[in-house]
């Protein structure tokens, strides 16, 4: 459940330390190059997205999203083992919504993780111990 203050946040970042399991770093069974190419293609093929910057050296892809709400997304891809690669998202918007943007931004991240999961096997989502 989203509390009233969280609901109005305009920025979400996934990480291993996030309390919400849906917003934890996802680890996939793939090499860095395989996953990076898949994610880059995923955003290039999406009509609502415009890839603005690609930095393979830093493992980052920056994307402008037009619909349903204008927002900016940075995807970070990091190889942690030879066949295990992590994906994190940082999404933000300057838009305003009376009902708050957090639920829409979270839904966007969940859908991207789901789409990547269709292309690569999910190894794990690390739980807090």
Residue 70's pLDDT is what?
Answer: 93
CATH T-level topology, domain 22-124: TATA-Binding Protein (3.30.310)
User: pLDDT means per 10 residues in the chain (129 residues)?
Assistant: 71 92 94 97 94 97 92 97 94 80 92 95 72
Tokens of 71: 């927002």
Tokens of 59: 């493992």
Residue 2's pLDDT is what?
Answer: 54
pTM over 0.85: yes
Residue 38's nearest CA partner among 118, 105, 124, 129 is: 118
Question: How many whole angstroms from its chain centre is CA 102?
Answer: 14
Q: What is 74-105 written as a DSSP string?
A: EEEEEEEETTEEEEEEEEE-----TT-SHHHH
- CA separation, residue 91 to residues 30, 40, 101, 116, 125 (Å): 24, 16, 11, 16, 19
């Amino acid at each position: 459940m989203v509390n009233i203050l969280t609901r109005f946040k305009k920025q979400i970042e996934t990480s291993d330390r996030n309390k919400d399991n849906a917003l934890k770093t996802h680890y996939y069974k793939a090499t860095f190059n395989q996953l990076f190419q898949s994610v880059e293609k995923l955003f290039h093929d999406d009509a609502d997205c415009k890839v603005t910057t690609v930095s393979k050296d830093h493992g980052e892809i920056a994307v402008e999203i037009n619909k349903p709400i204008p927002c900016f997304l940075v995807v970070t891809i990091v190889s942690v083992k030879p066949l295990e690669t992590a994906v994190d998202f940082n999404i933000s918007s300057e838009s305003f919504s009376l009902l708050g943007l957090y639920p829409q931004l979270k839904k966007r991240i969940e859908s991207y993780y789901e789409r990547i999961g269709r292309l690569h096997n999910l190894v794990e989502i690390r739980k807090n111990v």
